[in-house]
Amino acid sequence: MSLIKIRMAVVVVARAACVKRGGGLLPSDARLLTMGELHEARFYETRPDGRVICTLCPHQCRIAEGGRGACSVRYNHAGKLYTLVYDKVVAREVNPIEKKPLFHFQPGSYAYSVSTVGCSMRCLFCQNWQISQWPKTGLPKHIEGESITEHEPICPRLEVLGETVPGEPATPQSIVDAALNTGCQSISYTFTEPTIFYELAFDTAVLARERGIKNNFVSNGFISEAPLRELATVLDGINVDLKFFKEESYRRVSRARLGPILDAIRLYHELGVWVEVTTLVIPGLNDSDEELRSIADFILSVGPEVPWHVTQYYPAYKMYDRPPTPVETLRRARKIGFEAGLRYVYEGNVPGEGGENTYCYACGNLLIERYGFYVRVNRIRKDCCPDCGAHIDGIGMSWAS
């Protein structure tokens, strides 16, 4: 959709100047939020009373005039929904694809990785909370509409702007060009929740496909069916965080629901998107045999070829009351995954422990040796085990061999 101009700049920056800073660390080159030009959001409905219903994710936020959704980056102005992050990239870097983690997606390749601020969840243990949670407190919860003009004072010392939206200018074309110039084989929409910058991600993915670059998401999986189906037309792979297998845990710790995430994982798989699943194993929260077995059984019901990453937790954000995950716990989780019938289970965030290697599910021989995010050896040939000929599931498994 085309950019449109609306007169909300002074209101947002003024209101933001009156809001206490929200604790996130901001880049030194954070760009001023002007809202002079905004991109209209996708997937919403306008109600007769001027409210909009955002249908992008299962929150299904009903947003009043001047209000914002749960992600805090989508605002209703005059019955239209706008995204604040279509052209503001807060992070961009070249990463090994294994960092996502995606172990069965062109192993040994590199992904041009981008993100904006914002997230649809509020996980108490978020590892990237400085950027994912920034809009929750860094932007005003409500803005005025047509009744405010740029000459009306909102709060004292308007010229002293205390709040900005972190990000540098970016367009879908500039992101694709950067991926090509850095020799990356894919673009990864990651670090925060890519669903909340859907418009930027989708438009970029379309251009990337045209240039022969693959696309992958690292996501919490909290997305509605219609945008998922559209996204699947340009998405090659996804790693979904399946944080818990208890509804109460999702609601209390992440402010979300379990059911839609399970539905999304199934649907991505059905639509032909390569799926991997990650569970951050947190001591005393989701590390019981019962919960780990439930997660493993669910993944098996999607497909035995779906890789499961059980990764080590490090205290972060608002959850410092729990210690890092013992390696023994990750080994127990990995064993549970294999016993359930999964072909590929990996231990994450513990380089050198051996649980990051890929073995043939048929003959048991070592196929890919990794250390951390890097591939040391890849013995796979033509996507098959060189010893027994079994097909090894994934996308471009012999890419770097």
Looking at residue 160, its pLDDT comes to 26
- Tokens for 192? 């925060």
- One DSSP character per residue, 234-293 reads T--EEEEE---S-HHHIIIIISS-HHHHHHHHHHHHHTT-EEEEEEEE-TTTT-SHHHHH
Report d(CA 207, CA 179) in Å as an integer.
11
List beta partners, residue 384.
Answer: 381, 391
Q: What is the pLDDT of residues 106-153, one digit of tens each?
A: 999 999 999 999 999 999 999 999 999 999 988 777 776 543 334 333
Q: Whole-angstrom Cα distance, residue 335 to residue 289?
A: 10
Q: How much is the pLDDT for 233?
A: 98
pLDDT of residue 140: 78
Give the tokens for residue 315: 């205290």
Classified by CATH at the fold level, domain 89-125+167-378 comes out as TIM Barrel (3.20.20)
The stretch 2-27 carries a mean pLDDT of 31
Q: Tens digit of pLDDT for each residue in 176-185?
A: 999 999 999 9
Is 70 exceeded by the pLDDT of residue 401?
A: no
Mean pLDDT for the stretch of residues 29-51: 74
Q: How far apart are CA 29 and CA 91, in angstroms?
A: 12
Region 56-72: mean pLDDT is: 94
The arithmetic mean of pLDDT across residues 86-91, rounded, is: 92
* Tokens linked to 347: 């231990």
Encode pLDDT of 202-219 as tens digits: 999 999 999 999 999 999
Structure tokens at 160: 């002293």
**Whole-angstrom distance, CA of residue 71 vs CA of residue 350:** 32
Phi, psi of 90 (to 5 degrees): -90, -20
**Mean pLDDT for the chain?**
87
**Cβ distance 201 to 177 under 8 Å?**
no
Give dist(CA 53, CA 180) in Å, integer: 37
**From CA 297, how far away is CA 247, in angstroms rounded?**
17
Asked if residue 57 has pLDDT above 60, the reply is: yes
Domain edges within the chain: 3-88+128-138, 89-125+167-378
The lowest-confidence range among 58-72, 108-122, 133-147, 350-364 is: 133-147
Which pLDDT value is given to residue 114? 98
The DSSP-derived string for 53-117 is EE-SSTT--EE-TTBB-TTSSEEEETTEEEES-TTEESEEEEEEGGGTT-SSBSTT-EEEEEE-S
DSSP annotation string for 180-240: HHTT-SEEEE-SS-GGGGHHHHHHHHHHHHHTT-EEEEEE-----HHHHHHHTTT--EEEE
Buried residues in 275-295 as b, exposed as e (16+ CB within 10 A): bbbbbbbbeebbbeeebbbbb
* Residues 366-394: tens digit of each pLDDT: 999 999 999 999 999 999 999 999 999 99
Alpha-carbon gap, residue 342 to 303, rounded angstroms: 8
Spatial contact of 400 and 358, defined as CB atoms under 8 Å apart: no
pLDDT of 158 > 60? The answer is: no
Per-residue pLDDT band for 345 (boundaries 50, 70, 90) equals very high
**Exposure string for 369-379, b = 16+ CB within 10 A, e = fewer:** ebeeeebeebb
Residue 185 in tokens: 């084989």
Taking residues 252-273, report their average pLDDT: 98
CB contact set of 56 (below 8 Å; sequence gap of 6+): 41, 42, 43, 44, 74, 195, 196, 198, 223, 224, 227
- What pLDDT, on the 0 to 100 scale, is given for residue 21? 29
Calculate mean pLDDT across residues 65-90.
91
- Quote the pLDDT of residue 77: 86
pLDDT confidence of 164, banded at 50, 70, 90? low
Residue 10 has pLDDT above 90, yes or no: no
pTM of the model: 0.88
Choice among 143-147, 250-254, 375-379, 395-399 with the minimum mean pLDDT: 143-147
Query: Which residue, 205, 229, 230, 224, is CA-closest to 216?
Result: 205
Q: Would you call 389 helix, strand, or coil by DSSP? A: coil
- pLDDT band, very low/low/confident/very high, at 225 (cuts 50, 70, 90): very high
Q: What is the mean pLDDT of residues 297-320?
A: 98
